[in-house]
Amino acid sequence: MKPSPLREQSYLILLALAPEPLYGYGLIAAVRELSDGRVKLGAGTLYGALDRLGADGLVTLDHEEVVDGRFRRYYKLTDQGHRVLTAETERLAELAARARRRLAASRVAPRPAG
């Protein structure tokens, strides 16, 4: 059985964590950048998603620190999270390739007037 596709926000959070652990604001900024500003996570949405991703074993707490008197929790991908992210990226790439083929075919074969 294939795993369910990820929600876009979850996919972007996992993708943001792929290179290195990040804390809340760093994740919010990375998701905004990855989505070209289209996805803007609020703190409540982010931490709710992190709780779900953590419960699913896809992310885990890496470390905590205090910076300028503010507490930061850094999250990282688990091995399972990396596998799920890789599989979802492949699924999306295959979907995009199918879409390109269908779009190309629609330009080649004109539809009959009706």
Nearest to 41 by CA among 32, 54, 53, 33: 32
∠ CA 14-17-7, rounded to 5°: 15
Which regions of 20-90 does DSSP assign to beta strands (E)?
A: 22-23, 59-67, 70-77
As a whole number, mean pLDDT of residues 4-15 equals 94
Whether the per-residue pLDDT at 109 is higher than 70: the answer is no
Query: pTM to 2 decimals?
Result: 0.87
pLDDT (tens digit per residue) in 15-61: 999 999 999 999 999 999 999 999 999 999 999 999 999 999 999 99
CB 6 within 8 A of CB 14: yes
Contact 50, 78 (CB under 8 A): no
Mind listing the domains of the chain with CATH numbers?
A: 8-107 (1.10.10.10)
Least confident range from 40-49, 62-71, 87-96, 102-111: namely 102-111
Residue at token pair 């995009």: 96
**Cα-only R_g, the chain:** 18
Q: 7-21, 47-61, 97-111: which range is least confident on average? A: 97-111
pLDDT of 5 reads: 87
